[in-house]
Amino acid sequence: MSIEEKRDALVDELSPFEDHFERFAYVIDRAKGHPPLDEQYKIDAFLIEGCLSRLWIFPEFKDGKCYYTTDSDAAITKGTAALLCELYSGETPADVIALEPDFLADVGITQHLSPNRRNGLTNVRKKIKAYAEHCTGNA
């Protein structure tokens, strides 16, 4: 599945919810299904700046592709970060760099986040993109 197809699948999954409370409940439920990040990766090097809750993104580069794992002490934060990690994991650095996560606004996620959570989500994207840019020489 291409990164665009993954994005479209996430849009299809999140679009049926007309109420933002239901949408966030779904995102939180999805987050509960993600395995926790190993404690050895819950360090400052992987901590996302500008987020009120503690949020970590652990990046890996294997076989020419980027992979991202996340964890947070807040369910909404973990859920929204997990959406981005799912989208960008298993993709080439070039694809990670090229595709912006505009779909989150399209399905009503970003509009209903607090300013601090929006800031944290922006920083998640920056961290994911920066790692992909770092990996472009390794691809």
- Predicted confidence band of residue 52 (pLDDT cuts 50, 70, 90): confident
From the candidates 51, 66, 85, 135, which is the catalytic residue? Answer: 51
CATH topology of domain 3-135: Sufe protein. Chain: A (3.90.1010)
- Told to judge if 51 belongs to the known catalytic residues of this protein, a careful annotator would answer yes
Ranges 25-29, 66-70, 110-114, 127-131: which has the least confidence = 110-114
Residues 1-40, buried b or exposed e (16+ Cβ, 10 A)?
eebeebbeebeeebeebeeeeebbeebbebbeebeebeee
Whole-angstrom Cα distance, residue 16 to residue 107?
A: 9
User: What residue segments make up the domains of the chain, in order of their start?
Assistant: 3-135
φ, ψ for residue 72, nearest 5 deg: -155, 160
The model's pTM is 0.91
**56 within 8 A of 71, measured Cβ to Cβ:** yes
